[in-house]
């Protein structure tokens, strides 16, 4: 058993390493500068005398007198009485370079790409009271001299118990979401002379991090941009997916023409976003219903797949029941799978599933058998059985 566990840890280490390396070059240049990875926190007594961190706050301090070929030295300091945990990707707290525009405003000058790997977000870094992280902020090799600063691109952090992280500064992200208290943060460093490239600024303008912080109008503008480069295609795709935050009929109407977009990924993303908005918008629900009942197989399949992501509702029950009569057995199997999630809440779902008792198509009866096994996420055990 020990050897198996060791082997499992070894494989996990390899996967984690792969996550970091692939995230570094995901879809834009220099998306994740590894110098910003949080390491073990150090006690405040080890902070250089030249670095002044105010008492009672969390500070991000850039030391522009300590600059390497590709980094500026940074200190993330916790002078509060609470332990603070940060959301991270590959132990990077979304720490990004910013450059000052001519009008005095700031623009991100470091593109970012999110990782495909769940391990990249598995752990979160914890900073105990009166401790600091020593970091290296991204500094491009080329570019022009600009006034720059560094900013943590996160709106929230977590207060954690002071005993947490006594021997290990890393916490599971799920543990934080379950037990941590969320607090708003706005962390930007002091400014100084550094470098920034127009290529980085342009790439950062429409990357996935930008769409994550953009308002609805900005997202629509990103979707409507022209061009066929990989950068444009990815930024449009991220924006279509992010429009699920804009839950109204206007957004559904905006997305409708994208169902005929030349980019297949955009078409499928538009279907899923319309399906998500439909949970709160009658207009979007009507459009989603039209897709489900339509003849476009590609869009219909995407809508059917999305049904599994929607919470139980009478609308989902109606779609799945309608699909049980489809001539394609694969569609009927998918409909059974959807109904199997919540038949204990809606007796009509159980009746609909049982209506396929004589369906002899390959795989249908097997799926029915699996669907009738209670899934306790949707069908809680009786109280006496829980005890």
pLDDT value at residue 184? 86
Q: Is the Cβ–Cβ distance between 336 and 368 less than 8 Å?
A: yes
d(CA 347, CA 200): 56
Query: What Rg do the C-alpha atoms of the chain give, in angstroms?
Result: 25
Distances (CA, A) of 182 to 7, 83, 87, 343: 36, 12, 11, 36
Q: What is the largest CA-CA distance in the chain?
A: 80
d(CA 205, CA 227): 15
The answer to whether the pTM exceeds 0.95 is no
pLDDT value at residue 117? 76
pLDDT value at residue 372? 85
d(CA 121, CA 101): 32
Distances (CA, A) of 259 to 77, 237, 245, 275: 48, 13, 19, 13
Of residues 233, 255, 257, 236, the one with CA closest to residue 246: 255
In sequence order, which residues have a C-beta less than 8 Å from that of residue 291 and are 6 or more positions away? 259, 271, 274, 299, 300, 303
d(CA 32, CA 291): 39
pLDDT value at residue 384? 39
Q: Is the Cβ–Cβ distance between 234 and 31 less than 8 Å?
A: no
pLDDT value at residue 380? 56
Cβ–Cβ contacts within 10 Å for residue 55, how many?
A: 8
Angle value at C-alpha 277, between 256 and 314, nearest 5 degrees:
115
In sequence order, which residues have a C-beta less than 8 Å from that of residue 266 and are 6 or more positions away? 236, 237, 240, 258
b/e per residue, 14-34, with b = 16+ CB within 10 A?
eebeebbebbeebbbebbbbe
pLDDT value at residue 227? 82
pLDDT value at residue 336? 94
Structure tokens at 110: 């470091």
pLDDT value at residue 163? 52
pLDDT value at residue 386? 40
d(CA 331, CA 325): 9
Mean pLDDT for back-to-back runs of 10 residues, the chain (387 residues): 37 42 36 57 93 94 92 94 86 91 94 77 77 92 93 86 50 61 89 95 84 85 87 87 87 95 96 94 94 95 93 92 95 93 85 93 93 67 43
Give the single-character DSSP code of 100. Answer: E
In sequence order, which residues have a C-beta less than 8 Å from that of residue 58 and are 6 or more positions away? 76, 77, 78, 79, 80, 84, 127, 157, 185, 187
């Amino acid at each position: 058993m020990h050897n198996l566990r060791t082997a499992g840890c070894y494989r996990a280490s390899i996967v984690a390493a792969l996550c970091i390396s692939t995230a570094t070059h995901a879809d834009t240049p220099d998306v994740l500068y590894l110098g910003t990875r949080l390491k073990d926190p150090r006690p405040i007594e080890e902070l250089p005398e030249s670095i002044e961190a105010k008492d009672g706050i969390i500070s991000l301090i850039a030391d522009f007198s300590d600059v390497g070929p590709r980094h500026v030295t940074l200190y993330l300091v916790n002078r509060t009485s609470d332990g603070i945990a940060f959301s991270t990707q590959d132990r990077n707290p979304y720490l990004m370079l910013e450059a000052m525009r001519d009008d005095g405003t700031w623009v991100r000058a470091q593109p970012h790409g999110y990782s495909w790997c769940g391990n990249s977000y598995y752990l979160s870094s914890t900073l105990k009271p009166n401790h600091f992280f020593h970091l290296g902020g991204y500094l491009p090799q080329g570019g022009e001299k600009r006034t720059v600063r560094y900013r943590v691109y996160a709106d929230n952090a977590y207060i954690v118990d002071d005993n947490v992280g006594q021997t290990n500064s890393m916490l599971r992200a799920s543990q934080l979401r379950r037990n941590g208290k969320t607090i708003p943060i706005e962390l930007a460093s002091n400014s100084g002379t550094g470098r920034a490239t127009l290529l980085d600024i342009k790439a950062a303008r429409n990357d996935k991090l930008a769409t994550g912080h953009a308002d609805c109008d900005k997202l629509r503008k990103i979707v409507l941009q022209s061009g066929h480069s990989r950068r444009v295609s990815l930024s449009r795709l991220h924006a279509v997916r992010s429009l699920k935050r804009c839950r109204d009929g206007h957004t559904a109407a905006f997305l409708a023409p994208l169902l005929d977009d030349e980019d297949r990924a955009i078409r499928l993303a538009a279907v899923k976003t319309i399906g998500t908005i439909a949970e709160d918008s009658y207009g979007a629900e009507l459009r989603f219903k039209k897709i489900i009942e339509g003849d476009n197989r590609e869009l219909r399949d995407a809508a059917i797949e999305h049904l599994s992501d929607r919470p139980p509702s009478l609308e989902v029950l109606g779609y799945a029941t309608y699909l049980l009569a489809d001539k394609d057995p694969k569609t009927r199997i998918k409909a059974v799978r959807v109904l199997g999630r919540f038949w204990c809440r809606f007796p009509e779902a159980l009746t609909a599933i049982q209506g396929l008792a004589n369906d002899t198509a390959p795989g249908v009866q097997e799926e029915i058998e699996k669907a009738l096994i209670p899934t306790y996420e949707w069908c809680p055990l009786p109280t006496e059985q829980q005890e």
